[in-house]
Amino acid sequence: MNSHYKSMFELKGKTAVVTGGIGILGRRICAGLAECGANVAVIDLDEAAASAFAAELSVSYGTVCRGYGCDITSVDEVRREAERIFQDFGKIDILLNNAATKSSDLDSFFAPFEQYSLKQWRKVMDVNIDAMFLVAQAVGKYMILQGTGGSIIQTASIYGMLGPDHRVYEGSSFMGRPINSPAVYSASKAAVYGLTRYLATYWAGHGIRVNAVTPGGIESGHNDTFQQKYAARTPLGRMARPDEIVGAFIFLASDASSYVTGQNIIIDGGLSAW
């Protein structure tokens, strides 16, 4: 019996745009899309770094990949780069709205809620949700223009669904500094769900599917104390490896999910199950 199911996951000939493309998760998303045949526009603040990584992808996977520098909080830059990508590739089939920030001022970012500044709050919101709106708006226009639909996938977080267990952060550090999970991160990631569901219904008539992926904790430089405490909170007993998140993005980008929209795929090792 001939089967077409495997081919449903192929992305050959499709163009994908990935924001935060040279981050820990972004790099792996880009690689996963390219391996499945997609041409990839890698967006990050540093165009030289994005271009160098895109060149690596092209060599490794034989697809057309290009890097673009863009401050996604800037209306003008987002519109300019969306037009540039559309002109370079001729179409945009997939958007991975993935970029987020923890701020360059980590003291302000990790400040206690009672002392948290509105200025810092707005800086994080500017990247985590305002920029997501700007990128979806700019890319969505081209998806409508080309008339062939598309898939938008937005990266959220388990802390947009659940309140953090603050006990996990006692004695915990990331890259050598004490950490917590600030309210602005939870609030910004919760907003991703609202935007996702809204756009899923708003653009459905244009054949544009919009979904979210919600990772739980990912191994990326946390100290042993944090990893052990976090692992104890999950049924699978460990944090995620970055590569374990990529499959959900490939599924949602591909025709294998052609009847999936307005959904949130949670990849948290079972954390939200108990």
SS (H, E, C) 107-168: HHHCCCHHHCCHHHHHHHHHHHHHHHHHHHHHHHHHHHHHCCCEEEEEECCHHHCCCCCHHH
User: Do residues 216 and 234 make contact, with C-beta atoms less than 8 angstroms apart?
Assistant: yes
CA distance 216 to 240: 7
Whether 5 is catalytic is no
Total Cβ atoms within 10 A of residue 64: 16
Alpha carbons within 13 angstroms on the beta-carbon side of residue 195 total: 25
Q: First-to-last CA distance in the chain?
A: 42
**Which one is catalytic: 159, 185, 230, 259?**
185
Q: What are the residue numbers of the active site?
A: 185
